[in-house]
Amino acid sequence: MDVFETLLEQNPATRTIKVVDMHTSGEPTRIVVKGYPELEGSTLLEKRRYAREKHDDIRQRLMREPRGHGEMYGAILLRDTELTRSGEADIGVLFCHNEGYSTMCGHATIALGRFLIDTHDLDVFPRRNNLKHDEETSLTELRLHAPCGVVHLSVYTDDSHSDATRLVSFLGVPSFVTARDLQVDIPPAVQWKRLRDAQRNRVTVDIAYGGAFYALVSAKELGFPAGVRARDGATVAEFDEATAALKSILSPRKGLFGHPTEPDLEYLYSIMVVEETLKGELGLCFFADQQIDRSPCGSCVMARVALAVERDRLKIGEGCEYESVVSLLYEGNGFRGTAIEKTSEGLIVKVEGRAFYTGSASFVVEEHDVMPSGFTVALPN
């Protein structure tokens, strides 16, 4: 018997997780297809809490080494949520990463747009055959229930397979700004070298929501006059130090992260370092436990468009190109964000990008494996 069959035979379904891996502008999405246990709870947020409390070992197993890595990102499909039952959504999803679970993810949403069109396994996606397809535009519409709300996707397809050459787009949840030009004092104990060298102790940031809360700050404000570049010898480690310090100061200020309906969403998810370019914006996004987003960060694109509209830099119907330090190297690999409509709850933003398949796998845990939940590399205490 071949080793592949032997592994699956020796590991029951309860210890085998099947996944499909994709990337969006270089940022990975590990889509959990089969093997994840049913979650208790009547709402998606209740299921999210149950996953965190009872099955976090599976998240750790898939995100961490040796099966994953420190920058891995995941999407757990939920066939049943309160909004799929009411007919307002086609399928639900939980997003996860190295630290835990997030409320929204644009790059993973773009990847899921392709995957959910391409799968015809009704055990994975029971409502797949109910999706609406427009023959004239070749677009198939999909409603994804994320923890932040319903995200509406449009995928170019021949009704059975997605078109990898075309952009996937989605309309996000209402986005809004909670603080503009916020002056943040940086205590001496947490000041980073670039700020000390500039003899400054204060930075200016904006806070905006795009399915999650982001602190938006220019590279120059952090003490990097050359922007998100290595031209003046700046390193990723220096940006990591600066953003981690800033996040530690901002996170306790809960009043900055007020959400109109869901207390579960009221926390700072990420620091986005931005730099204006001739065509739009370049960004370096640190999220969760200082993961670096390889993509331009689709949910932060929503937040950045909301801020641009509030500053009158974009009007309704106008868009902007957003790049990451990775997508900038590959022409046409960034995201586009467009202001679509102002509502009483916030701004509706369209985000467009491309995703590609990288592989599939069946992950197992052998009976005597002493690292079933994986590990992270750190010096022992």
Neighbouring residues of 44: CB distance < 8 A, sequence distance ≥ 6: 78, 81, 82, 83, 92, 94, 145, 147
Neighbouring residues of 40: CB distance < 8 A, sequence distance ≥ 6: 46, 47, 50, 54
Cite the DSSP H helix spans in 90-235.
Answer: 106-118, 193-197
Tokens of 116: 């959910």
Cβ pair 322, 277 in contact under 8 A: no
**What's the angle, vertex CA 144, arms to CA 140 and CA 146, rounded to 5?**
160
C-alpha–C-alpha distance, residues 114 and 261, integer Å: 30
**What's the angle, vertex CA 194, arms to CA 190 and CA 200, rounded to 5?**
70
C-alpha–C-alpha distance, residues 354 and 296, integer Å: 12
Cα distance from N-terminal residue to C-terminal residue, the chain? 44
> DSSP label at 40?
P
Helix (H) or strand (E) run with residue 6 in it: helix 3-10
The torsion region of residue 38 among left (phi > 0), alpha (psi -120 to 50) and beta comes to beta
Q: Which among 133, 199, 198, 189 is positioned nearest to 161, based on CA atoms?
A: 133
Tokens of 183: 């002056």
Residue 363 φ then ψ, to 5°: -95, 130
Question: In the chain, count of helices (H) and strands (E)?
Answer: 8, 19
- The residue type of 338 is T
Tell me if residue 148 is catalytic: no
Which of 96, 105, 285, 320 is catalytic? The answer is 105
Catalytic residues: 105
